[in-house]
Structure formats: structure tokens, C-alpha cells
Amino acid sequence: MNQQTAVTQPNAAKKHLPDAQTVTEVRHYTDRLFYFRTTRPQSLRFRSGEFVMIGLPGEDGKPIMRAYSIASPSWDDGLDFYSIKVQDGPLTSRLQHIKEGDEIILRPKPVGTLVLDALLPGKRLWFLATGTGIAPFASLMRDPETYEQYDEVIMMHTCREVAELEFGRQLIESLPEDPLIGEFVGDKLKYYPTTTREESKWMGRVTDNLASGKVFADLGLEGTQMDPATDRAMVCGSLDFNKDVMAIMEGWGLREGANSEPAEYVVEKAFVG
Ligand SMILES: Cc1cc2nc3c(=O)[nH]c(=O)nc-3n(C[C@H](O)[C@H](O)[C@H](O)COP(=O)(O)OP(=O)(O)OC[C@H]3O[C@@H](n4cnc5c(N)ncnc54)[C@H](O)[C@@H]3O)c2cc1C
């Protein structure tokens, strides 16, 4: 089921901005995190895990554009986004106020390295994220190909506080019962949410829980570290997070891949700075 269902026809009469898409839903999680959904341009084809440029017109009329992971899977007829709110951020100081029916600018040129094609075949796939870095995995966790290609999928997500995990938790808990994707997910998806500040069931950084083998013990996984023969990983967080996770995986013998040269893991920044 790698279906490309009919995508929403943009309402030409309502278009005011170039490359405009209409916001169809907004949900706020914390004072720093929110989700929104938009219509999908008919011309937009992408691979689950890729990102696009989205934005709003600035005060001077010039668009303020930023990279955003598409958080919905490639077969979905709308587009999901999961966003930070930076109070003095040029884009998100305003984007955080969007409402249903508003328009955003979306450049329909998807790119990115967090795609299944950039990995060699394997058995166990790891999604490793902090903060909004879960967005591309919200897409990949809903793509049937993820479960067709791997026996086991592990989503490790770390935030400071429990409320910051809520978007991912709601999504992941809904998947086994999802009428479209549930049968593919089955019991293959294992979720390991951790916090670094607020007390919760599992605590600590992705890096520490990987390096110490704690995640393997807590989830009852085979082995105590990744095996380059069978483990594949995708990483999305801050620059420091990405570097630390890469160092651990390189130590286990995994190598970084790319679209042009698939290998054992791929990495993308969740933001610049
Ligand atoms: C490949 C790629 C994909 C991205 N995908 C997403 C996404 O799906 N969701 C999303 O919210 N952002 C994402 N970003 C970041 C996004 O492009 C913007 O930086 C963000 O929307 C803030 O824009 P701004 O203009 O308000 O502030 P900016 O001037 O862009 O950023 C101001 C500062 O805020 C911090 N910051 C920015 N984004 C984040 C973030 N996501 N989490 C924590 N701190 C941040 C950084 O320190 C940055 O220097 C992505 C960035 C890249 C490079």
C-alpha cells in the first residue's frame, strides 16, 4: 500500500499569496510547541521524511521562509507540520498565531536525507530525535514502507518536559488502531520517550540511553548495542545532539549514508543555530 491518494485541489479563488496553502487545523501543545495542518498542492510529491520551505510574507512584503519537515506521510492528502515557537523568531513569532482558514506560503520542492532510500537494507530501524526533530519521523512512522522494509522500528524521543512529548505520544499511541496504517505497524513499533528535567517513566538523553545499553534492556531488545549488519538509524536534533549520536554509532561501526550512497545511518539538523 504505497498509495498516492488524490491530493487536495487548492482553492484557486481563495489564493492571495503565491504558492499559498490554507491552514485546516491548529493545535497548541505548550508555549513553545504547536502543530498545524494545511492543504497539499496537487503538484507536490515527496518521500516521507523530506522537508520543504514554508513561510509568511514579512512586513515589507518579502516572504520569510524557513525549512520545515513534513510531518505527514507521502500518501496523506494534507500536510502536517510540528513547530517551535521562538518568541523573537522572524517566522515563528508570527506563525504561532495562525488560525484555521489562514494561508501560508509553501514552496513545493521537497528535499532531505531522512529517507528510506538513503539506507542499506536492514532489520531494525532507529528513529532518534530531540524536540521538533520528531517531525520527519511522524511522517516515516506512518509510511507502510517503513514496516515493509524493517522487522522492528524504535522511536527514541527526548525532551526536557513531559508536555513536550505529547504530540509524539498521541500520534504513536493512535497508530496500532489507525484504519490505514495500523495493520502495517502491528507490534513492530517500539516507543522510548524520555525527559531530561521533569520526572517521567524513562529519563535521560538519547545518547546516554544508547551508549549505556539502557534502552535495549528497557525495551527488551536483542543485543546491547547497534549492529552494523542489521541496525539502521535516522537522527534529527540539534547540531550537538547529532554529533554525539553519530560518534556513538560510528564507534559501533555504522557509517553515514546519503541518497547517492546508502549506508547504515542518516542525519539531518532539526534547526540551524
Ligand atoms: C532541515 C530543517 C528542517 C527543519 N524542520 C523544522 C520543523 O519541522 N519544525 C520546526 O519547528 N523547525 C524546523 N526547522 C527550523 C526552522 O527552519 C526555523 O528555524 C524555525 O521555524 C524558527 O524560525 P524563526 O524564523 O522563528 O527563527 P530562526 O531565526 O530561524 O531561529 C532562531 C533560533 O531559534 C532556535 N530554533 C529554531 N528552530 C528551532 C527548533 N525547531 N527547535 C528548537 N530551537 C529552534 C535556534 O537556536 C535558532 O538560532 C528546520 C530546520 C532545518 C534546517
User: pLDDT tens-digit profile of 252-273?
Assistant: 999 999 999 999 999 999 898 7
Protein residue with least CA distance to atom 45, ligand 1: 271
Same domain, 183 and 207: yes
Protein residue with least CA distance to atom 11, ligand 1: 83
User: pLDDT tens-digit profile of 3-20?
Assistant: 444 344 444 444 466 799
Which H, E and C letters describe 37-62, residue by residue?
EEECCCCCCCCCCCEEEEEEECCCCC
Q: Which of 111, 139, 157 is the last residue of a domain?
A: 111
Which of 30, 34, 37, 86 for a ligand 1 pocket mutation test, highest count of atoms within 8 Å of Cβ?
Answer: 86
Protein residue with least CA distance to atom 37, ligand 1: 271
- What global pTM score does this model have? 0.94
Distance in angstroms (rounded) separating the CA atoms of residues 269 and 21: 25
Same domain, 175 and 254: yes
Q: Which of 64, 88, 111 is the last residue of a domain?
A: 111
Same domain, 105 and 123: no
Query: What value does the mean pLDDT take over residues 39-50?
Result: 96
